[in-house]
Structure 1
Amino acid sequence: MSVNMTRLANGMTVVSDQMPHLKSSAVGVWVNAGSRSEDENEHGISHLLEHMAFKGTEIRSAVQIVEEIESVGGDVNASTGIENTSYFVRILEDDLPLAIDILGDILANSTFDEEELEREKQVIIQEIGAAYDMPEDRVFDHILEQAYPDQPLGRTILGTPETVQGFSSFDIENYMGTHYHGPNMILSAAGAVRHDDLVDLGEKAFSGFSKTPPKPLQKAVYKGGESRDLQKDLMEAQVVLGFEGCSFTDDNYYVAQLLAAILGGGMSSRLFQEVREKRGLCYSIYTLHWGFEDSGLFGIHAATAAEHLPELLPVITGELTRVAEDLTQQELERARAQIKAGLLMGTESPASRASQLSRQVVLYGRPRLLEEMEETVADVSVADVRALAEKIFCSGVPSMASVGPVQNLMWIDEVADRLGAPRPKA
């Protein structure tokens, strides 16, 4: 693999990984602005902009955008996240110029037609309704709201029907004018791509974006608390127990990733074995560690029947305190192998690799070598993981969210007491 990076005159970064054995490439523009970049009166506008980018430009209709890509066998899509928005294309090697031309067109020349906007608002309102009907989606929205209340990081990506319905074309253009600048954008590609060609194409397609520095994010402030969404008609309860984790740039980020793998990263993990296999307390249990620019969320998700709720959290909290005391070298090595495999597998998919490169540029200012990340993981000791587990679970304020028949679920104050952790402030 050959990784190269260039900065254009307007501050936009171009990064690529040439993978000679492939005949296709994944190319996209990653904008360092997502739902977390929104002011309170802009809730949901990042996602609406992502949808509207495909609804017509000055030279292409919405149909023409997708027809041109699909006529050469490619596909185009986009995604809105908490801290970024991505627009990406999968394409064969010879069609890279078309992909870049279309990406540049939808980001520089979208018209945001009012009729298209009204139709797309209705599509998103239906999407919000569909998400509400999925308890597992809803519980993750709730945990972020409790962990980061009254701030952009704690708000949902989709927005609300009321906020979405209220946006105008002017609002979208204003938001785009605030965040879509060269220094805030990355053109990233992996697969059958030559870096010099990518730079030339990027210069042509994106030179119109200004060199204005990005607007700083509002600092994340983790607080903690509890949300109960009582739905007695559901058969299963969704529960997430959360704690403040580590940011992507924290020295302990990969320690937290290893801790998550040890506790709930697979069928051999502690929580899966103890809670599901030995006790049969749930159908699904796993851990997650989401890194943000300046904070992180460590979570345990479980889906279970109402009758198992009284026993569920006592068992989980017992495992959280125990891992800080008796974690073994064997468990660490198994988790290390999982992380290493994940890093390697991420380099085998052009789409994953292009996304990985863009994220690294945002966070570290450059792509990180695979060997560098493997070395970081290899340097983590049992003592490091135990110390972080003690810090996260026993010194940090917990958060909890639940959806379903959760009337018999333990309250958050008792969870904190069992862990010896501070209670959330009322």
Structure 2
Amino acid sequence: MLSRQSLGRGAQRVIKRQCCVQLGRRGLATPASGSFQYQTGEANGVKFASRDLPGPTATLALVSKTGTRFEPAPGLTEALEKFAFTATERRSTLRIVRESELLGGEISANHSRENLVLGAKFLRDDLPYYVELLAEVAYRTKYENYILNEEVIPTIQKAHKKFLANVSELAINSAHGVAFHRGLGVPLYPASSTPTSKYITLENVQNFANSAFSKPNFAIVANGADQSELSKWVGEFFSDIPASGKAIESQQQKYYGGEERIAHGSGSAMVIAFSGSSSPTGGFYKPEIQVLASILGGKSSIKWSSGFSVLGKQSASSPGLSVDTKSLIYSDAGLLATTLQGPAEYIAKAAVDVVSTLKSIAGGDLNTELFKKAKAHAKFQELEFGQNVKSGLELTGSGLIQGGKAYQIDETAKAIDAVTESQVKTAAKQLLESKASVSSVGDLHQLPFAEELGLTV
């Protein structure tokens, strides 16, 4: 067991506080506002936001604008993710693990197309320790060659193999590639043929880390933490980070559209996508796209039912076929994407249904009852998505970095409430008039071309 002397300042402070309360009361939340509104602020040049939800636990995240969209070379975002919570100048990897175990917390790291997220879940009273830990990971991680070669690169290679075996993930990444080319088109996990060893060098990782954790490029977001407390500890522990770092620049993401077909022997999948909506914190948010996604649908949210969505009912008679339509949102762009996975012959039939449904809506054939159900479902999904701690943290962090705006779920709900049938019909018409992004993976003999579906690519 670690001695008190081996713990960092934050951990010592936490343990000292714990000694002053009864064991049975440890970690119980003090009265909190319970508001789902994020409060924002800035301490020592670091943007932060908190949502003081009632409860004994808290969640903290450092959101950095260093997803695959912004990486200067393939694999660097993954490498940075894998280096997270390894040895720092003050703590060994083992010590970080043992300290978090003693406090009963959880630590994690993941990346998306736009962000790298370092997260922690813990008892509410342990906020100082985890703010200090994230600050230490951000600017005191020791980037060693042996860690890169023995731990980071082998882990990345395993992730690549897993990715290549998943036909639906391959199709989604392919659709992003033909839709956006570079930027959002960069895959979350490069293919095994990508010469990542050429790019994932210690020098490149260190340079990318310096950029990732400079003050203009990250934000701190918390759920279950008092705003004044978060401000205090962010101001104290992130004071050593240089303020002179350069903001990662990115051009407005351009949509292209196109088609790609990939032969695969482990199943079939197809993605039919169109230019969609940005996130609510972006400048191109279109709530009608979310409603349209619910109308198309595919997956049922109610047991023993195929659901109300058009594609859900049409695919009910195709055993083994999975259909799912989502509005994939990013800071300045998005995709309305329908993913089909299962037997190739059923995918071919369902792909025709996707296009014919859109044409029907664009032509003015939209049942009012269906619209009301889809609108209610879209609102629920958006509220649930925002209430979800993990999603809310990343959306808010990204919003703070990109434009200084936190994600507020009540504003998004109001926007969906205001959507009309006319807006949905117009959106469907505009999608069909623009270029589609179609990706097919699997049995290419049976999977249709975009032109055969009547789509322009």
Residue 18 of structure 1 contacts residue 190 of structure 1 at CA under 8 Å; is this kept in 2? Answer: yes
Give a deviation string over 1:121-172, Cα, whole Å, max 9, x none: 01111110111112122111211121122x1321212335554323222111
Identity %: 22
2:6 is aligned to none
> Residues 401 and 370 from structure 1, CA distance in 2 versus in 1: closer, same or farther, beyond 3 angstroms?
closer
1:361 is aligned to 400
1:15 is aligned to 49
- Looking at structure 2, the residues matched to 369 and 351 of structure 1 have their Cα atoms a distance apart, in angstroms, of 14
2:309 is aligned to 269
1:204 is aligned to 236
- Looking at structure 2, the residues matched to 330 and 303 of structure 1 have their Cα atoms a distance apart, in angstroms, of 28
Among residues 400, 405, 417, which one is paired with 2:443 in the alignment? 405
Among residues 129, 143, 155, which one is paired with 1:112 in the alignment? 143
> Residues 345 and 241 from structure 1, CA distance in 2 versus in 1: closer, same or farther, beyond 3 angstroms?
closer
What's the offset of the Cα at 1:348?
Answer: 4.7
- Looking at structure 1, the residues matched to 296 and 158 of structure 2 have their Cα atoms a distance apart, in angstroms, of 36
1:158 is aligned to 189
2:118 is aligned to 87
- Looking at structure 1, the residues matched to 136 and 385 of structure 2 have their Cα atoms a distance apart, in angstroms, of 29
Give a deviation string over 1:227-282, Cα, whole Å, max 9, x none: 21123x43x321111111122235552111111011116432111112x12x4275
Among residues 141, 145, 157, which one is paired with 2:173 in the alignment? 141
SS at structure 1 position matched to 2:332: coil
* One-letter amino acid matched to 1:306: A
Please give the root-mean-square deviation of Cα atoms over the aligned residues, in Å.
2.0
Residue 77 of structure 1 contacts residue 89 of structure 1 at CA under 8 Å; is this kept in 2? Answer: yes
1:379 is aligned to 418
1:50 is aligned to 81
Residue 80 of structure 2 contacts residue 205 of structure 2 at CA under 8 Å; is this kept in 1? Answer: yes
What's the offset of the Cα at 1:377?
Answer: 0.9
TM-score, normalised via structure 2 length: 0.84
TM-score, normalised via structure 1 length: 0.90
1:331 is aligned to 370
* One-letter amino acid matched to 2:130: A
Give a deviation string over 1:3-31, Cα, whole Å, max 9, x none: 32111232x211101112x0000001111
2:156 is aligned to 124
Residue 309 of structure 1 contacts residue 406 of structure 1 at CA under 8 Å; is this kept in 2? Answer: no
- Looking at structure 1, the residues matched to 215 and 283 of structure 2 have their Cα atoms a distance apart, in angstroms, of 26
SS at structure 1 position matched to 2:103: coil
- Looking at structure 2, the residues matched to 110 and 397 of structure 1 have their Cα atoms a distance apart, in angstroms, of 45
> Residues 57 and 140 from structure 1, CA distance in 2 versus in 1: closer, same or farther, beyond 3 angstroms?
same
- Looking at structure 2, the residues matched to 311 and 350 of structure 1 have their Cα atoms a distance apart, in angstroms, of 38
Aligned residues: 408
SS at structure 2 position matched to 1:342: helix
* One-letter amino acid matched to 1:54: F
2:24 is aligned to none
Residue 242 of structure 1 contacts residue 299 of structure 1 at CA under 8 Å; is this kept in 2? Answer: yes
What's the offset of the Cα at 1:187?
Answer: 0.7
- Looking at structure 2, the residues matched to 349 and 286 of structure 1 have their Cα atoms a distance apart, in angstroms, of 20
Residue 16 of structure 1 contacts residue 354 of structure 1 at CA under 8 Å; is this kept in 2? Answer: no
- Looking at structure 2, the residues matched to 218 and 377 of structure 1 have their Cα atoms a distance apart, in angstroms, of 28
